[in-house]
Each structure stands twice: as structure tokens, then as C-alpha cells.
Amino acid sequence: MDHMDQAIVLAAGEGQRLRPLTVNRPKVMLPIGNKPILQHVLEAVAANGIRRIVLIVGFKKEQVQDYFGSGASLGIDITYVEQKLQLGTAHALKQAEHLADDSFLLISGDNIIRPSTIAPMLNIKGTALLVKQSEDVSKYGVVQVKNGLVSAMTEKIVSGSNLVNTGIYTLTGDVFSFIKGEVDLPTVLAKMIDNGIPVKACETNDVWLDVVYPWDMLKLNASVLNSCVGSTSGKIERGVAIKGQVIIGEGSVIRSGCYLVGPLVIGKNCEIGPYACLFPCTSIGDYGVLSSFCSVRNSILGNNVHLGASSHIEDSIVAQGSQLGSHFDAHSGNTIAFVEEEAHKIIFGAVVGELCTIGPNVVFKPGATLGNRSRVEPLKLVQNSIPDGSQVV
């Protein structure tokens, strides 16, 4: 086979460190630039001429299947395989053994890549791993390379190596005989190396962005929007100022006096303004309503989010279906966020889970998180992390 034409895509994970955003949806379905992360991956794969996709699903699998269906809308053919227990990447791959070609691309469905990121992998014969230099190797498996081959893979920081495992592989059917009871793919590759099977290292300087924590979503969103080309549909009233690359979806109305600065995407059937200001690296989902004199900067608002008049949102994420009253305020600032008892120093605004109702004149401190289906009474200050289903009175 001269040209690889099959990709196996891992899309079964939950993404617990992204809660509350992943309580009700799989990590791969989080919106980046108004598309699920997984859609960006599948589009990059399809752009390289790979049409046959095996999609390994698990957590909330129906959402993935309902959204992508047969794959026809993306020009691909999707076969679904379920990983009932999310035990690890090797265990996930094992579920697709009966469908795998002699040579295939294995890729995670929860990273932002470009078509050019994976292009060099498609002409490599045998087993290969895509690696990338990273300033922070602590979150990833570290890869040691010697003479173009992977010599070792470890979860620990190794002095002299800042190459990390991107989770993108070219594999052959040989890999399945080494999986046996193993659950993680790096362990399997280490066994292959020990048995004398060469694993080539392919280094990329292209886009590969991982999402581990909620604030990572803003970096991915900015990267995607910075490569978009502006296009405007819907109705734009007189007196609207548009600068830079701005995408406005069909059926949306931009009221008089609005100021839009790209890169920026506004979904379908939205109503913006009058006199709303939307600043770079902001995504507004479909059916959004932003009332008069709102200001949103470097943020992600999901579908069906309603923002009351004179509200301000910065470096924040508001999940789908939430209703925020007038004079809502989520400013960005230096804060320490705790995720699974790990402390992270970040500059961030807030996270509002899905289907929340927030009264007027509510202020969120930097780093505050409101769980899904929660209610906040007017004139409240929200700080720290509020669990799902809470009522702040």
C-alpha cells in the first residue's frame, strides 16, 4: 500500500480534569472555534486523503455518534468501536484489532492539529511516533531519541530531553501481538523496542495542542481562530464596526453600534447588541444572545448562552444553555486553581457550567467555577469551586 488510507482515532475518554465541562459530554466534544475538538482532528486527517476512520468511543458515546454519524458530511467513512471501560490507550486500540489495516495512523481525538502536522507520518514505513519539543514536559511522556529512533519512553522528566509523546503513531499489525494485557501504548512500544523492533521518531514543529485543564481551551481556541478567514452572513445593521477576521453565522443579527474585533466567530442565529463589544479570540456558539453594552474578550460561550446587558466576560468559559443576568462580571486575574489537589498558578477568568441561571449584578472572582445546573441569586460574589446542582443564595 503506497498511501495509508486508514486512521484509528481514540475518542473514548472523559477528561475528568476538565470538569464541570466534561460531566455531561466527552472531552472530544468540547467546542473549540465553534466545532468539537474531534471535528478539527477528523478534518485534518481527511485533508491528508485518509477517508476510512475507525472511531473508538466510550464515555457518552451517543453524543459523538449523533453528531458525526456516518462521517459523510466530512467526506469520510466512520466505523464505530466501543471501549466500555476506559483503561488506557493500548486497551482502546485492542478493541479495533479486527478492523485494523496492515498499516494505519493512530491519533488522539482530543488534540488540535493541522493537516501539515501529521502529513510526514503518512509516508513512514513500519512503526513511528510523532514527537514535539515542549517547555513543560511534566504533563506528558518524555521520549529519548538516538539516531532517529526512539530509545526510551518514560513518564518521568529526563535531563537533556524535552521531546514529548504527542500520542500520534504510525503502526502496523505487529503492535497487537505486544499489547496482550497492557493498557497503555507507551508501555507496549517500550516492549517492542526491547524486542528489537525499530520505532522511528518523527519530530514536528507544527501545531499540536493538548487540552488538559479548562484554561487550556482558551489557548486552543485562539490557535484555531488565528487561522480562520472571515466571512459574514446574517444581518449587520448600520453603525457596526468590524476589524480583522470575523466569522458571523447564518441567521445572526448584529445590532447597531457593535464593535467586533477578530479573530472572532459568532455562530448561527445569534443576536448581538446593540453596542456590544467582542474582542479577539472569542467564540460565541449558535443561538447566543448578548444584550446591549456587553463586553466579551478571549472567551468561549457555548450554544444557547444568554448574557444580560452591561456584562463583562474575560478569559472565561460559559457552557451551553446558561443564562447570565445583567451586569454579570467575570474579570481575568492571577489566581491559583486546584485540580485533583494539584495547584496551578494561572491568569484566568471563570468557568460557568451548563444550564446555569445567574441573577443580575453577580461577580465571579478569577478562578471561580460554577457547576452545571446551578443557580446564583442576584448581588452575589462567587469564588472558589461550586459543585453541580448548587444554589448560591
CATH value at residue 154: 3.90.550.10
88 and 231 fall within a common domain: no
- The answer on 57 and 28 residing in a single domain is yes
Grid cell at residue 108: 488522539
Same domain, 241 and 104: no
Strands (E), 124-250: 127-133, 142-146, 149-154, 163-172, 199-203, 208-210, 231-232, 235-236, 241-243, 246-248
Cα distance between residue 108 and residue 9, in whole Å: 6
Do 183 and 277 belong together in one domain?
Answer: no
Q: What span, in angstroms and rounded, lies between the C-alpha atoms of 205 and 189?
A: 23
Cβ contact 324:318 at 8 Å: yes
In a domain, 203, yes or no: yes
Does the pLDDT of residue 243 top 70, yes or no? yes
Domain count, the chain: 2
C-alpha cell at 272: 448581538
Q: Is residue 307 part of a domain?
A: yes
Domain hosting 26: range is 6-212
For residue 30, being part of any structural domain is answered with yes
Looking at 212, 235, 264, the residue that finishes a domain is 212
Q: Does residue 138 carry a pLDDT above 90?
A: no
SS (H, E, C) 331-345: CCEEEEEEECCEEEE
Domain stops at, among 193, 212, 231: 212
200 against 376, higher pLDDT: 376
Q: Is residue 217 part of a domain?
A: no
Rounded Cα distance, 72 and 81, in Å: 18
- CATH number of the structural domain spanning residue 227: 2.160.10.10
- Mean pLDDT value across the chain: 91
In a domain, 14, yes or no: yes
One domain for residues 13 and 153? yes
What is the Cα–Cα distance from 272 to 319, expressed in whole angstroms? 18
Q: Is 365 helix (H, G, I), strand (E, B) or coil?
A: coil
- Same domain for 37 and 84, yes or no, is yes
Taking the C-alpha atoms of residue 208 and residue 274, their distance in angstroms, rounded to an integer, is: 38
pTM for this structure? 0.92
Determine, yes or no, domain membership for 218. no
Greatest CA separation found in the chain?
Answer: 70
Q: What are the Cα distances from residue 134, in Å, to 54, 68, 137, 240, 349? A: 29, 32, 6, 41, 25
Q: Which amino acid is at 358?
A: I
206 with 250, same domain: the answer is no
Question: Residue 367: pLDDT above 60?
Answer: yes
Q: Is the same domain home to 312 and 290? A: yes
The last residue of one of the domains, among 159, 177, 212, is: 212
pLDDT for 165 beyond 80: yes
Give pLDDT tens digits for 209-240.
Answer: 888 899 999 999 999 999 988 898 889 999 99
8 Å CB contact between 320 and 353: no
| Residue 201 and residue 228 in one domain | no
Identify whether 376 is part of a domain: yes
Omega within 30 of 0 (cis) for the link into 274 = yes
Candidates 238, 322, 311; CA nearest to 288 is: 322
State whether 257 and 363 are in the same domain. Answer: yes
**Stronger pLDDT, 307 or 123, i.e. the higher one:** 307
284, three cell numbers: 460565541
**231 within a domain of the structure (yes/no):** yes
Q: Please, which pLDDT band fits residue 263 given cuts at 50, 70 and 90?
A: very high
| 46/98 same-domain check | yes
Indicate the residue type of 203.
Answer: E
pLDDT tens per residue, range 30-68: 999 999 999 999 999 999 999 999 999 999 999 999 999
Is residue 97 located within the same domain as residue 233?
no
Cell readout for 126 is 513500519
Residue 214 CB contacts under 8 Å (≥ 6 apart), including other chains: 18, 21, 317, 348, 351, 369
List Cβ neighbours of 132 (8 Å cut-off, separation of 6 or more): 163, 164, 166, 203, 204, 205, 208
Q: How confident is the model at residue 185 (pLDDT cuts 50, 70, 90)?
A: confident
pLDDT of residue 149: 85
Query: Would the pLDDT of 164 be above 90?
Result: no
Radius of gyration of the chain (CA): 22
**What is the share, in percent, of the chain residues with pLDDT greater than 70?**
97
Q: Which residue's C-alpha cell is 518521568?
A: 156
Residue 109 is given by DSSP the state T
Q: Residue 344 pLDDT more than 90?
A: no
What does the alpha-carbon distance between residue 122 and residue 393 come to, in Å, rounded to a whole number? 57
pLDDT score for 1: 44
